[in-house]
């Protein structure tokens, strides 16, 4: 039960982060990597999963921002170009996202950038994540809703340091 509603800005941030992390979750699950997601606050979230190949890591890393754009939930602070994401323009979307080289991806989190950069076939890894996500859009929305529900109180408290997500993750192990 929710005792206090989030203000609309926080609700939007939470929906965006929950969608982003759920993107990582869905692709990591598809690879059989037993992922778990933890949201610590508006700027604090993490997905842990089993050891994987560099291709899988890059695809999982792409999945966060892909999930945001597939559901029109992009995190508001990102400086990435506005570019509609659909099956017909996936290549254009990827090209736009990396137009400035991977430095442009600094608008993502640094672990995501490192993950994407860990495999040289950037278009293929993005495409692999896109295929998995588009085949599981209902699940993506379901996971995002659940993750947002279980995380809303931490948002309310605005505990926004990354250590908080790390702590939750450690507690769950």
Q: How far is the CB of 67 from Zn ion (least distance, A)?
A: 9
What H or E segment, with its residue span, contains residue 47? strand 44-48
Site string for Zn ion, 49-68 (x = CB under 5 A): ---------------x----
Q: How far is the CB of 109 from Zn ion (least distance, A)?
A: 5
Q: Which is nearer to Zn ion, 42 or 64 (CB)?
A: 64
| Torsional sign, CA 127, 66, 120, 132 | negative
Q: How far is the CB of 134 from Zn ion (least distance, A)?
A: 18
112 binds Zn ion (CB under 5 A): yes
Q: How far is the CB of 53 from Zn ion (least distance, A)?
A: 18
23 binds Zn ion (CB under 5 A): no
Query: Residue with CB nearest Zn ion?
Result: 64
Residue 99 CA to its chain's centroid (Å)? 20
42 contacts 160 by C-beta, under 8 angstroms: yes
- As a dihedral over the C-alpha atoms of residue 23, residue 27, residue 28, residue 32, rounded to 10 degrees, the angle is 150
Residues contacting 74, CB < 8 A, separation 6+: 16, 65, 68, 80
Only segment of 67-75, 99-107, 112-120, 143-151 that touches Zn ion (CB under 5 A): 112-120
Interface residue list for Zn ion (CB under 5 A): 64, 112
């Amino acid at each position: 039960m929710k005792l206090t509603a989030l203000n609309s800005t926080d609700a939007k941030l939470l929906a965006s982060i929950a969608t982003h992390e759920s993107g990582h979750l869905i692709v990591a699950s598809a690879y059989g990597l037993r992922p778990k997601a933890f949201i610590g606050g508006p700027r604090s979230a993490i997905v842990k999963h089993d050891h994987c190949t560099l291709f899988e890591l890059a695809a999982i890393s792409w999945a966060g921002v892909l999930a945001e754009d597939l559901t029109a939930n992009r995190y508001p602070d990102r400086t990435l170009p506005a570019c509609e994401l659909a099956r017909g323009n996936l290549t254009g979307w990827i090209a736009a996202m990396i137009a400035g080289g991977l430095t442009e991806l600094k608008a993502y989190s640094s672990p995501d950038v490192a993950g994407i950069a860990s495999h040289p076939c950037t278009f293929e890894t993005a495409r692999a994540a896109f295929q998995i996500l588009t085949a599981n859009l209902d699940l993506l929305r379901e996971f995002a809703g659940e993750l947002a529900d279980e995380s809303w109180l931490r948002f309310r408290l605005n505990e926004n340091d990354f250590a908080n997500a790390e702590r939750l993750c450690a507690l769950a192990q």
